[in-house]
Structure 1
């Protein structure tokens, strides 16, 4: 009972000591051991084993208390806070610290505490969040965009910016953006659109529209309303083929051909065709030869002639008669068979005249695909399919 009474008296003295101590004293330093009036309870604190459990004082031989550095109070149980620590808003549990009470902040607990989560704000009183210039929102975390920046199509990460969302462009993000790669188009209201300018077509408006009438096969264009011809073609619409260079009396259906007009033959269609006499072709066939062979004929040399066979006959001189086949189909041949014939003096008579008037010769229409006067030098595949007996001038 006596021991408990002593402890009770010691804690009462502690409370009285705290009430007398001025916490606002700044720059408090460790005091030299201050003798405490020798009272019975002080002596009991030194004599009691539990009296110095905190270990902040020592007892002198005469029973007085001496506080350790950083501690004050009658029982040396009050820590000395950091110098400048606000006496109302701060406190400490060990010497040299400054712990802020709720609602206050700062090194010395003299500042108001911000609202938790406040990013770019200040406060005049505890738990406020007053936004700094350029920031807004409950926690001042939203940047204020550039004036007139579209609220939906634009955004900002820093104050004064205006960044456009996908599909929009312009200073204030109020203009639609074309589809990437759309170089000759535009958009009206919908983003990522590509409406072609006049003269262009395609998904990205990348294809120019050529001049009206320009051949899609033989012409092309690099800009609208052009018509550039591919190799071998010419003309306003690139629909005229280039004949073989040097072709004189011929034409072409495709580039680099030389199809002879009536009464002409040869690789370049530069040899005139005349009738030959005597007519050595058989079965009523027409005999023709180049005009250049006239000298050979007169001299009795070798002459190249062509036999135009009537229906139902073939061969180099139209000597082969065609027969019925399958009782249904008549095999006809209207080939132009030519051969080389050596004219002897007996075959040449002075009174025989050569018909040099081309108009008197009945020739097929050379514009037809099946014409017999097609230039064999330009159609070797067709020439090989002809009668193996043909030879001589370049007419099949």
Structure 2
């Protein structure tokens, strides 16, 4: 019997080796051996109990050699989350959510998302560190255009077109184009700052004509003709011309306001101007005729020789009716107190001898009506 036991021990030692058995005994932590051997070392914060065999058993929700590792809430991300007591899930810096499975993007990220904490991966159509720069239309001009939203193309000041490649003319430019922003190059037939003034036809009078479209010539009131160089005479003017609108300047041999009176008075009437004078026919309202006297003669018909004329007295014409005694006259005596003047007579006793004067022999100093 004794031999059998001895042989069994020898067999076990040979099979597993003495060194292996000693190594297993050494691998048991010292604190684990002592955890239940000295119960006084347990405290209220210990998360284990010792069974009857002296083995340490963790309380529910705790694991680990010292039962000091809490079991987190089911589903809590093992990398991005942690817990300090059982059945909770606390997130590490840069993550959030009930299970800490959501990352926090880079602060300021506007149109992006993250796979890792504090990154900003842009959504389609956005660019930049914070994904705040929209990606414009593919062909939108890079310097002349911009966009506020992906895929659009808005033009900067001075540019226009779907892709902002065309210049914008000066505001108000009517008939012009541009080679650079805010200019107005006039098309053929137009002029002015805004190309709003048409160029009239060649030769159109600058002051008397105008035009509303290129290469035409419209006349202002009172003028006519291809170039508006001819004036309209006074309406009804028969034999006259004009230098300005509404004039009626009579042609030779015609007179009157409308130049409708033929001046033949001298030819048709036996009125002869004397002493070598020239007869000139005039309109009826101007006396029908006039004599142009030779030097030294005066009078209606140039019949007076200025050298023989002497005026010996001069008296103002008498009034046709003078009231001599207005304060004492009566209706019966008024006719006796009135002096009636004849057409061409003067009383000799009213001439004052001292008032005589002589006429200088000067053709320009006397009028033909003397």
- TM-score grouping bracket, smaller chain normalisation: 0.5 to 0.7
Task: Spell out the pairing of 1:102-113 with structure 2 (5 A cutoff).
Answer: 102-113=93-104
Distance 1:314 1:145 in 2: 105
Matches within 5 A, 1:253-268: 253-268=243-258
1:119 pairs with 2:110: yes
Q: CA RMSD in A?
A: 3.9
**What is the distance in 1 between the residues matched to 2:101 and 2:297?**
125
Whole-Å separation in 2 of the counterparts to 1:131 and 1:165: 26
Structure-2 change in CA distance of 1:96 and 1:267 (3 Å): farther
> Which residue does the alignment assign to 1:4?
none
- Aligned residue runs from structure 1 range 302-341, under 5 A: 304-307=287-290, 309=292, 317=300
1:22 aligns with 2:70: yes
SS of 1:13's partner is: coil
The reply to whether residue 209 of structure 1 matches residue 226 of structure 2 is no
- 2:166 is aligned with 1:175: yes
SS, match of residue 258 in structure 2: coil
Cα shift at 1:142:
0.5
Counterpart position of 2:119: 128
Aligned ranges 1:117-156 → 2 under 5 Å: 117-156=108-147
SS at match of 1:256: coil
Q: Report 1:1-396 matches (<5 A).
A: 10=43, 13=46, 19-20=67-68, 22-26=70-74, 86=77, 89-90=80-81, 100-188=91-179, 190-276=180-266, 277-279=269-271, 285-289=277-281, 304-307=287-290, 309=292, 317=300
Highest Rg: 1 or 2? 2
Aligned residues between the structures: 250
CA contact (8 A) 1:24 1:86 kept: no
> Which residues of structure 1 form unaligned runs of 5+?
1-7, 27-83, 294-301, 323-386, 390-396
Distance change (3 Å), C-alpha of 1:113 and 1:274: same
Offset, 1:216:
1.1
SS in 1 for 2:46: helix
* 2: CA distance, partners of 1:95 / 1:313: 151
Q: Structure 2: 5+ residue runs without aligned partners?
A: 1-40, 49-57, 307-366
Q: Which has the higher contact order (CA 8 A, sep 6+)?
A: 1
8 Å Cα contact 2:277/2:291 also seen in 1: yes
Hey, what's the Cα distance between the residues in 2 that align with 1:149 and 1:180? 23
1:142–1:287 distance in 2 versus 1, CA, 3 Å = same
Please state how far the C-alpha of 1:100 moved relative to its aligned partner: 3.1
Please say if residues 119 and 139 of structure 1, whose CA atoms lie closer than 8 Å, have aligned partners that are also in contact. Answer: yes
1:97-148 residue CA offsets vs partner (Å, 9 max, x unmatched): 9653212133542112212221111222222211111111111111010111
Greater Cα shift, 86-95 or 206-215: 86-95
Summarize the Cα distance change of 1:214–1:98 in structure 2 as closer, same or farther, 3 Å threshold. farther
- Give the match's secondary structure for 2:264: strand
TM-score under structure 2 normalisation? 0.58
With the length of structure 1 as denominator, give the TM-score of the two structures. 0.54
